[in-house]
């Protein structure tokens, strides 16, 4: 496995693969890897002959007062897991490499995608995500990029960006990897203490039970009120709990796929999750 912070080596390696007729997949990450990331790498390996994982804690997607400085940085352990998972190249750009200009050029995500769900309480977050992902796509020039469905709003925004900017890259989404309790794997689960960890699976439980009830035509507003109370009783401070189109993140449309989306604070951790309704 090659690991590099040099754009020239990254490009030369990917060019060699291309000359040999090999396809390339990227798994963008911020490091602190867990089994969810390794599942994304597994999917990347199924979709292409060569895999690149990037590790970059992206400052532009963190707002003031968020956890950019304290975000867990575990490079040596991450490199070891990627190597044993069979990754071909790890791209480790510095902040200066990723953002050579100050101020940097930034992608502005349309409000219709970014002013809701996580975007409503994290203004500018998705502009930062789109800006770094576009840079990664231009640096690596992959055929395929793999993202997890846990960050579903991110996945929809990236799909839309690729479509709107005519990028020649396929976006693959992978279902959320969960603990046996149902808790979605996330680097931020490390912020949970022992008691919070035992309450954390309630978020997924509430969402799956809501989805089942919605399929049986239960009234959403009443269900939402009861679910928010359940979350609060389990110690959560809910941020949002919404039922949206899985395609546009806007209002649900008859006969089209929809999902339930939730974010809630539990102690220091802001947990997010989503499940399909139909
Ligand atoms: O999902 C993440 O870890 C990040 O948002 C991403 C896609 C690597 C961009 O920094």
Q: What is the pLDDT along the chain (278 residues), one digit of tens a residue?
A: 999 999 999 999 999 999 999 999 999 999 999 999 999 999 999 999 999 999 999 999 999 999 999 999 999 999 999 999 999 999 999 999 999 999 999 999 999 999 999 999 999 999 999 999 999 999 999 999 999 999 999 999 999 999 999 999 999 999 999 999 999 999 999 999 999 999 999 999 999 999 999 999 899 999 999 999 999 999 999 999 999 999 999 999 999 999 999 999 999 999 999 999 98
Tokens (6 digits) for 4:
């590099």
Q: Is 30 in the pocket of ligand 1 (CB under 6 A)?
A: yes
Rg over alpha carbons for the chain, rounded to the nearest Å, is 19
Query: 145: which residues sit within 8 A by CB, 6+ positions away?
Result: 25, 26, 27, 28, 133, 137, 158, 169, 170, 171, 172
Q: pLDDT at position 36, please?
A: 98
CATH of span 187-276:
3.30.1300.10
Q: pLDDT at position 278, please?
A: 84
Q: pLDDT at position 98, please?
A: 98
Query: 167: which residues sit within 8 A by CB, 6+ positions away?
Result: 134, 137, 161
The residue whose CA has the least distance to atom 7 of ligand 1 is 28
Beta bridge partners of 224: none
Tell me the C-alpha distance between 9 and 253, whole Å.
47
- Please tell me the distance between residue 97's alpha carbon and the centre of ligand 1 in angstroms: 17
Question: Do the domains 187-276 and 2-174 match in fold?
Answer: no
Give the C-alpha distances (Å, rounded to integers) separating 220 from 13, 73, 115, 215, 244. Answer: 52, 40, 22, 10, 11
Whether 125 is catalytic is no
Task: Find the catalytic residue in 10, 13, 27, 37.
Answer: 37
Q: Is 59 exposed, middle or buried (0-12, 13-18, 19+ CB in 10 A)?
A: middle
Q: pLDDT at position 217, please?
A: 87
The CATH class of the 2-174 domain is alpha beta
Query: Which of 29, 62, 114, 135 should be mutated for ligand 1, with most atoms under 8 A from CB?
Result: 29
Domain boundaries, the chain: 2-174, 187-276
Q: Is 36 in the pocket of ligand 1 (CB under 6 A)?
A: no
Q: pLDDT at position 17, please?
A: 98
Q: Is 148 in the pocket of ligand 1 (CB under 6 A)?
A: no
User: Which numbered atom of ligand 1 lies nearest the CA of 56?
Assistant: 10
Q: pLDDT at position 153, please?
A: 98
Beta bridge partners of 276: 259
Cβ count near 164 (within 10 Å):
9
Q: Is 109 in the pocket of ligand 1 (CB under 6 A)?
A: no
The residue whose CA has the least distance to atom 1 of ligand 1 is 29
User: Which numbered atom of ligand 1 lies nearest the CA of 28?
Assistant: 8
142 contacts 48 by C-beta, under 8 angstroms: yes
- Please tell me the distance between residue 105's alpha carbon and the centre of ligand 1 in angstroms: 18
The residue whose CA has the least distance to atom 8 of ligand 1 is 29
pLDDT single digits (tens) 119-165 = 999 999 999 999 999 999 999 999 999 999 999 999 999 999 999 99
Q: Provide the angle, in degrees to the nearest 10, between the axes of the packed helices 152-164 and 125-140.
A: 60
Q: Is 29 in the pocket of ligand 1 (CB under 6 A)?
A: yes
């Amino acid at each position: 496995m090659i690991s590099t912070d040099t754009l020239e080596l990254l490009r030369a390696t990917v060019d060699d693969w291309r000359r040999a007729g090999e396809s390339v997949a990227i798994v963008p990450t911020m490091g602190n890897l867990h089994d969810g990331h390794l599942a994304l790498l597994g999917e990347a390996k199924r979709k292409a002959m060569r895999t690149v994982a990037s590790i970059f804690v992206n400052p532009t997607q963190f707002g003031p007062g968020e956890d950019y400085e304290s975000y867990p940085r575990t490079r040596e352990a991450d490199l070891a897991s990627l190597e044993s998972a069979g990754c071909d190249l790890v791209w480790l750009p510095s902040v200066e490499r990723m953002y050579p200009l100050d101020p940097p050029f930034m992608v502005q995500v349309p409000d219709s995608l970014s002013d809701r769900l996580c975007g409503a309480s994290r203004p500018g977050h998705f502009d930062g995500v789109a800006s770094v992902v576009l840079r990664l796509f231009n640096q690596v020039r992959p055929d395929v990029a793999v993202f997890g469905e846990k960050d579903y709003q991110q996945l929809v925004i990236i799909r839309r960006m690729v479509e709107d900017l005519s990028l020649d890259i396929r976006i693959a989404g992978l279902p959320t990897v969960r603990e046996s309790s149902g808790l979605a794997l996330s680097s931020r689960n490390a912020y949970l203490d022992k008691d919070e960890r035992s309450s954390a699976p309630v978020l997924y439980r509430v969402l799956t039970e809501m989805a089942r009830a919605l399929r049986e035509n239960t009234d959403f507003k009443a269900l939402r009120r009861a679910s928010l109370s359940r979350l609060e009783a389990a110690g959560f401070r809910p941020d949002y709990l919404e039922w949206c189109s899985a395609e546009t993140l806007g209002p649900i449309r008859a006969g089209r796929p929809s999902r339930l989306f939730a974010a809630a604070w539990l102690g220091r951790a802001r947990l997010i999750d989503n499940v399909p309704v139909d």
